Structure 1
Amino acid sequence: MAPVEADVRLFEELDRLLGTYRAVVPDAVRAELDRLADGNGREATAARVGRDLADRADPIEPDGGDAAPDDVDRADPATENAERSTDDADGNGSTNEYADDVLVALAEAGVVAYVVTNDRPLKNRILARNVPVIGLRGRNALAITEP
């Protein structure tokens, strides 16, 4: 959602920071973007852009299993995260932590090399697992925060 919210050219910035990488997005993050995109307003617009960008990344399962074909390069994965929605995984109206939990589990398992997020609580959880976080630095550039 950062490309709309902060005018960030996400993949260009990831190319600049990482060089070669494989972007992956868990299905839980895609589902969260879908829920947010259903509404109106700036957040929904940002979620629709985020969903389109997520389509440029490979899907990944919460256990680190690949939903993509086996011949896809697995080097240096990066994970993109959306902001939290106000629904839980079942749409019950509480804070949605499911997508965040999936990202934390992937980081903890060593499946991803970085997590891309601007969500401060998620960033802290990822850094606590000794995984670097890529987030907005300045006006519209990304930077890596090491644990």
Structure 2
Amino acid sequence: MADDARADRPESSPAGDARAEGLAGDGSEGIPVIALDASALMAPVEADLRLFEELDRLLGGYEVVVPAAVIAELDGLQGGNGAAATAASVGADLAERAETVATNESYADDALVALAAAGRVDAVVTVDGPLANRVLAADAPVIGLRGRNTLAITEP
């Protein structure tokens, strides 16, 4: 893609290109560190997404972190009734696979943007459009839903 076209809109890479493009990581052994949003953690219920299988397919190796504010958001959503509470419960269970990280931000989206802007993570996984735009504006890649239940990387 030409450089002038890249400036007009974010570029989405097809599956598997993360390894070729080198979503270079600062994690142990140079693998990427990715942060998960509540929407991504709830996507297995809400979008029939096999989150960790898709991340494995897309990235190969990676480390996963979840801001404490995202855990708090999921905890709050679990207290309700219906599909959102069920999705939040599943999301909270999935979040246990990740390292919980502290930030100065109490709002989950702000915490994710702060992690990305500070370079503490290599990408943010979300299916929340406004959050994805904020992360891209912070010059960090977003891993999001493409199609019905497939993940892809969008570069800033």
Shorter-chain TM band: 0.7 to 0.9
Shift of 1:61: 1.2
Shift of 1:136: 0.7
Larger Rg: 2
Which residue is equivalent to 2:102? 61
- Higher relative contact order (CA closer than 8 Å, sequence separation 6+): 2
Aligned counterpart in structure 1 of residue 90 of structure 2, from 37, 46, 49: 49
Q: Quote the Cα distance in structure 2 between the aligned partners of 1:50 and 1:142.
A: 17
Aligned counterpart in structure 1 of residue 71 of structure 2, from 20, 30, 34: 30
Q: Quote the Cα distance in structure 2 between the aligned partners of 1:8 and 1:58.
A: 21
Give the alignment of 1:1-147 within 5 angstroms.
Answer: 1-62=42-103, 98-147=107-156
Shift of 1:14: 0.5
Which residue is equivalent to 1:74? none
Shift of 1:13: 0.5
TM-score (norm 1): 0.75
Letter in 1 for 2:140: V
Query: Which stretches in structure 2 are left out of the alignment for 5+ residues?
Result: 1-41
Letter in 2 for 1:126: V
Residue deviations 1:16-51 (CA, integer Å, cap 9, x gap): 111110000011000000000111100111110110
Letter in 1 for 2:143: I
Q: Quote the Cα distance in structure 1 between the aligned partners of 2:108 and 2:148.
A: 26
Percent identical pairs in the alignment equals 70
Greater helix proportion: 2
Query: Which stretches in structure 1 are left out of the alignment for 5+ residues?
Result: 64-88, 90-97
How many residue pairs were aligned? 114
Letter in 2 for 1:139: R
